[in-house]
Amino acid sequence: MCLYCIDKHVVQPKHSNEARKRIGGGNREVSGQRDYILAQRLGTVQITTHRMHDVLKHIGYELQSSREENKKRKQLFNYFKELGIPGPEPSIITGNMTELREKTPTVAYREWIEKYGKVVGYFNGSRPVLLVADLDLLKMIQVKDFQDFIDRGLLFQSKRPPSPHNKSLIQLTGKRWKEVRSVLTPSFTTNKLKMMAPGMICTIQELIDKIDEHARSSEEFEIGDLFQAMTLDVICRSAMGIEYSIQKNPKHSLLASCRLLFSGTFSWISVLLASFPELEFILKYPLYWMLASTNNGVHPFDEVQEKCGNIVKQRQINNAVPQKDLLQLMIEAKTSNVDVASVTSDQLTAADDNEHELKQSALSSPKGLTYSSKTVLDDDDITQNAFLVLVAGYETTSNTLTLVSHMLINYPDVQEKVRQELFTALGPDEEISYNTIQKLTYLNCVIQETMRLYPPIFSFVTREAVVDKQYGKLKIPAGTAVMAATEYIHRDPSSWEKPNAFDPDRFLGERRKGQNPLAFQPFGAGPRNCIGMRFAQMELRFTLAHILRRYRLVATPNSDKEPAEIDMNPLVLRIKRGVHVRAVPL
C-alpha cells in the first residue's frame, strides 16, 4: 500500500498565530517547534513515545513498557553517532523527516552533503539511511560487492510480516530475486525489443494524431497529460497485449488510478507513519478508505493490480496464438530451465551494450549467490511483475518525455540539431524503425542530459547491506539502507564541468569517455538497476523522433523558463505547472 498518496485528500488543521508565539517565531524558533506543529496537525500535543505506547496498547498492540520504548528510541537515533558517521541531528519523534518535507529531499540532501561530506547518516522517520555521494564507495556497493548489498533498501520499513504475494522485483530479496531477475532479463534483448516495436509505434501514432488536433488550431496545450495517456497505452499494448485505447478515452479508470498512485506529497500522515511504522496497523484501513473514496470507492492500487491479474488469466486461457509482447515472454518463462548458478552479475545488469543473453561472462558468479537449482515463475510472480512494469513504465517514461519537451522549447537550437540528425538518418518517405533510432546519437544525448539534470526517480536508487561491511574506517552494519544521492551526483562539480548547464554534447565522443559511469545513473547501477531501462530508452527515442519529424515545439507565455520550478513527492520529480507548448507543423 502506498503511504504517501494522501496529502491532497486529507484536511490538515492549521495552528494559530497564538500557538506560534508560544513556541517562538522568526529565525530563532525554539527547538522542537516543528514537532509541536506536527503534533497539532495530528490532533494531539502529547505525541510522545509514552503516548504512542498508550494508543497502541489500547488497541491491543502490545509493546514493552513506555520507559523501555523511550530508551530504545533514543538509542535508535544514536545509530550513526555510534558508527562515527556525520549527519543532521534527528528529532526523537520524526528523525529528519520534517526537514525533508519542508525543504524537499533534493535540497536537504544537497545541504547535508555540502555540510557533512559525501557519506551522511540521516533518518527517514525511524529508518536509518546512509546517503552516499562518493563514487568510489558506490562502485563497491552497487557493483564490486553487490552480493553483500543485493537487497533493495526500501526507505519505509513496514512492521507487517512479509506477504507471500510480495513477488515483484522491487520486493524480492536474495536468492529469489536473482532467480526471477535471471528469468526476466532475457526478455529485454535486442531481438525481443524489435518484436515489441510495431505495437509501440502504432500507439505513438495515436499521440501524433492528438498533437495534430492542437497543431491545426494553433492552440497551446499541456503535453505531459498526453504523454501520460500514451505511455500507459504503450505499456498495455506493447508489454501486456491489451487494447484499452486510453488516449481516446482520457477519463479511463486505469489512467485515473495510475495518476492517483503518483499524486502524493510528503503528508504529515506519511511523516508519522515513517516515524512510527507500528501505526500502520491502526491507519491501514482509514488510509485505504481515504484513497478509495477519491477513486469511486476503489483503491487505485487494487484496481491496477486486479486489471493486471485479469490480463494474465485471460492470456493463459486464450493462448492459442502467442502474442508478441513482454507478458508473453514472462508466461513462457513459467517453464524456463534457466540455471541461476550460471548467471553472473553482468548478465543481470541492464546496459546499452549488453544483450543479456545467458552466455559465458568475464565476471565470475557472485560469491554467496551460487546455487544450482533451476527456476520457474508462478501466476503470482507474473501478475506482480506485470503490475511493476505497468506502473513504473507509465510514470517515469511520461515524466522524462515531459522534461525533455521542456528542454527542447527552452533550447530551440538543440531541438533543431536533433531534427537535422533525424532528417539525415531518414529518407524522405522512410518509416522510423528500431534501426533508425539507434542512429540518433544526438537525440540520445539530449535525453541523457535531461535525465542528468532532472533524474525522474531521485530517491529510489537504494540498496541494503545483508552482511556487516567495512570500508576503511566506515562500518556499514547489516540491515542498513544505503541510498545513492542521485540528484547531487548528477550535478557534482567534481564530476561535471558546468554541472548546472544544459549541454548534451557532454555525452558525445571523447567527452563521454572521460566520465565516471557511476556519476550518471538515472536507472541505477549494477545488477539491481532498472530491468526495463532499454524498453524505456526505445520508447523515449521513438516518441521524440516521431514528434520532431512532424512538428516544431514552441514555448508559450505559460511555459516555464529553465530552470523549471520542480514539484516532487517522495519518489518522483516533475515540473510543477506542467509543460505548455504549441506544435508548429513543419
Q: Do you know the residue count of the chain?
A: 586
Q: How far apart are the C-alpha atoms of 374 and 369, rounded to whole Å?
A: 13
Q: Exposure string (b/e) for 46-77, b if CB count within 10 Å is 16 or more?
A: ebbbeebbeebeeeeeeeeebeebbeebeeeb
Question: Cα separation of 331 and 308, whole Å?
Answer: 13
Question: 159-209, pLDDT tens digit by residue?
Answer: 666 665 678 898 899 989 998 898 888 888 889 899 899 999 999 999 999
Query: 121 - beta bridge partners?
Result: 130
DSSP state of 165: T
Using CA atoms in the order 306, 308, 312, 315, what is the torsion angle rounded to 10 degrees?
110
- Residues (pLDDT < 50) of the chain are 1-32, 36, 38-49, 59-61, 353-372
Task: Quote the DSSP letter at residue 4.
Answer: S
Estimate the share of the chain in helix, then strand, then coil, as percent rounded to the nearest 5.
55, 10, 40
Would you say 530 and 509 are in contact if contact means Cβ atoms under 8 Å apart?
no
pLDDT at 24: 42
Q: Do residues 502 and 411 make contact, with C-beta atoms less than 8 angstroms apart?
A: yes
* Chain centroid, CA 114 distance in Å: 24
Q: What's the gap between Cα 560 and its chain centre?
A: 24
Calculate the CA dihedral of residues 529, 531, 536, 537 and round it to 10 degrees: 60
Closest by CA position to 283, among listed 293, 269, 294, 295: 269
Q: What is the DSSP letter of 251?
A: T
- CA separation for the pair 22, 40 (Å, rounded): 13
Strand 127-132: give its sheet, edge to edge. Answer: 119-124, 127-132, 481-484, 462-464
- 445 assigned binding-site residue: no
Residues 6+ apart with CB under 8 A from 580: 220, 221, 222, 223, 555, 556, 558, 559
Number of alpha carbons in the 13 Å side-chain half-sphere of residue 74: 7
What would the pLDDT profile of 558-585 be if each residue is shown by its tens digit?
Answer: 999 999 888 877 677 889 899 999 999 9
Nearest to 233 by CA among 264, 212, 210, 216: 210
| Spatial separation of the C-alpha atoms in residues 114 and 133, rounded to whole Å | 10
Q: Which residue has the cell 508519522?
A: 272
SS3 string of 100-144? Answer: HHHHCHHHHHHHHHHHHCCEEEEEECCEEEEEECCHHHHHHHHHH
Break the chain into its structural domains and give their ranges.
177-585
Q: Quick check: 442 and 421 in contact, CB under 8 A?
A: yes
Helix, strand or coil, per DSSP, at residue 339: strand
Q: Phi, psi at residue 222, to the nearest 5°?
A: -90, 110
Q: Is the dihedral of CA 397, 403, 423, 351 positive or negative?
A: negative
Return the CATH class of domain 177-585.
mainly alpha
Per the structure block, which three cell numbers stand in for 147? 552480493
DSSP-assigned letters across all residues of 450-514: HHHHS-SB-S--EEE-SS-EEETTEEE-TT-EEEE-HHHHHT-TTTSSSTTS--GGGGSHHHHHT
Distances (CA, A) of 440 to 146, 196, 353, 448, 540: 33, 19, 16, 13, 12
User: What pLDDT score does 54 carry?
Assistant: 57
pLDDT number for residue 354? 40
Residue 12, all three cell numbers:
490538515
Chain Cα centroid distance, residue 311: 24
Query: What pLDDT score does 328 carry?
Result: 84
pLDDT of residue 365: 39
CB atoms within 10 A of CB 24: 14
Cα→Cα distances 506→129, 417, 419, 488, Å: 32, 15, 19, 18
pLDDT at 158: 67
Instruction: Output the pTM of the full model.
Output: 0.84
What pLDDT is recorded for position 326? 80
DSSP 8-state assignment for residue 581: E
